[in-house]
A and B are shown apart, each in its own frame.
Chain A
Amino acid sequence: MISDDDLTHIGLRPAGGARVLLIACGALAREIVDLQAQNGWQHFDLQCLPAILHNTPDAIVPAVQALVAQHRAGYETIFVVYADCGTGGLLQAACDRLGVQMIPGPHCYSFYDGNAAFAARGEMTCFYLTDFLVRQFDAFVWRPLGLDRHPQLRDTYFGNYTTLVYQAQTDDIALDVQARACAARLGLAYERRFTGYGDLATHLALRA
């Protein structure tokens, strides 16, 4: 299995030979592979963009557009396994122009929970981590925010938050412990919430 570091910074190339291409965020790679294995979905080929694009949403749209253009001729269907992810509606507009579908919703925290359930919670002061983001907390949160070099900035970033919610895709005690430690580092209360794969599973099943 590809490493989390590679999924963060490099992404994943498709193996080829399937009829449906999934263009996904690297942060979803393990979960998609797991769903493929669970459901015997042999017709999906998985291409992941570097997950770290999460921190620079401006870069997501051109990267997805380029991959769709590159692979369109080689697959019957392309499905974009991103939600809006901070693109302010530009990813949806690009997908509409390209004639490909994507996952509805604002971000993966929402579709893991289920978009309707997430919206209903209205949790303004919660900061979310998924399995992947717990494992990659330093690469996605601590270092990019400069907290390794300037810990005094912590409350500037997180002073308005109250709780770190760990949305668990799997039951993993080690990740629970790690997520709790992340909450402590950010000075936030901690809550673990099991979501499983939520709407990710539903939307992939629709393309199966």
Chain B
Amino acid sequence: MSDDEIILNDLDDDDLVAQMFDDLYDGMRPEIVEGVNILLARAWTPYDVLTKALVGGMTIVGNDFRDGILFVPEVLLAANAMKGGMAILKPLLAETGAPRVGKMVIGTVKGDIHDIGKNLVGMMMEGAGFEVIDLGINNSVEKYLNALESEGPDILGMSALLTTTMPYMKVVIDTLKEKGIREDYIVLVGGAPLNEEFGRAIGADAYCRDAAVAVETAKSYMARKHNQAAAAQ
């Protein structure tokens, strides 16, 4: 062991969280797992560990990605580290009845196997308190519809990386309209070749440029939904 190696357990809570931000930024999964376990042992609630240590750290990663300081490989390593922490926290969050912001069904559209962006969105949504049902890749309209019916989510998220597959999002949205259920869901779309204009043209509620924007957009639509529900009472 080198003299300058940091012993996480020796740090006080504030320093440990700051160190976990650094470790998340550097994609150090074993250190994140250790930090999560230490905070839990110090009687932190799973919800606080998630929001104050992991999401706080990933927010910095997300901001630096948006600002061109970090790039995709580094974000993936950070996400992998966060996943290590999430694996410990998820069952505990379910047990302790942590607040749930909403529920999302998410999947990559038919003909498309790209899932990196979708996975990042799913993970950040979970971190923000959403329950996420991940349908994986290559989803037909039938598969989306079945999931909407069986899961009853607030939000439908669709992802595509290819110019050739992104029009399929409109097929899904048009089918929701035909069935008269389009307004039952907040529809968010994302993926590298998409843009706001495309999102509007296909009838989505919003185009989300990256995972951080997806989380903020989802939260804002959920708040609006709650306000509308309250006003209707």
Spell out A's residues near B (CB within 8 Å).
57, 84, 86-90, 106-107, 119, 122, 124-125, 145-147, 149-150, 153, 156-157, 160-161
Most chain-A CB neighbours within 10 Å: which of B72, B76, B163, B198? B163
Residues from chain A with a CB closer than 8 A to the CB of B192 are: 57, 86
Closest 10 CB pairs of A and B: A146-B73, A88-B193, A160-B113, A84-B163, A106-B163, A106-B164, A86-B193, A150-B73, A124-B113, A153-B76
Given A122-B111, A124-B113, A161-B113 in contact, is the A88-B73 Cβ separation under 8 Å? no
CA–CA, A90 and B192, complex, Å: 12
Spell out B's residues near A (CB within 8 Å).
27, 71-74, 76-77, 80, 111-116, 137-138, 162-164, 166, 192-195, 198
CA–CA, A191 and B27, complex, Å: 35
What are 15 A-to-B residue pairs whose CB atoms are below 8 Å?
A86-B192, A87-B193, A89-B193, A89-B198, A106-B163, A107-B163, A122-B111, A124-B111, A146-B72, A146-B76, A149-B73, A150-B27, A153-B73, A160-B113, A161-B113
Residues from chain A with a CB closer than 8 A to the CB of B194 are: 88
Smallest CB–CB gap between A187 and chain B, Å?
15
Given A145-B72, A146-B73 in contact, is the A156-B116 Cβ separation under 8 Å? yes
Structural contact, B113 and A150, CB atoms closer than 8 A: no
Smallest CB–CB gap between B169 and chain A, Å?
12
Structural contact, B113 and A145, CB atoms closer than 8 A: no
Smallest CB–CB gap between B134 and chain A, Å?
14
Structural contact, B111 and A86, CB atoms closer than 8 A: no
CA–CA, A124 and B139, complex, Å: 12
Given A87-B163, A106-B163 in contact, is the A124-B112 Cβ separation under 8 Å? yes
CA–CA, A31 and B198, complex, Å: 33
Smallest CB–CB gap between B32 and chain A, Å?
16
Residues from chain B with a CB closer than 8 A to the CB of A106 are: 162-164
Residues from chain B with a CB closer than 8 A to the CB of A87 are: 163, 193
CA–CA, A122 and B116, complex, Å: 21
Apart from A88-B163, A88-B195, list 15 A-B contacts with CB within 8 A.
A57-B193, A86-B163, A87-B193, A88-B193, A90-B195, A106-B163, A125-B113, A145-B73, A146-B71, A146-B72, A149-B73, A150-B77, A156-B76, A156-B80, A160-B115
Residue of B nearest to A118 (CB): B164
Residues from chain A with a CB closer than 8 A to the CB of B27 are: 150
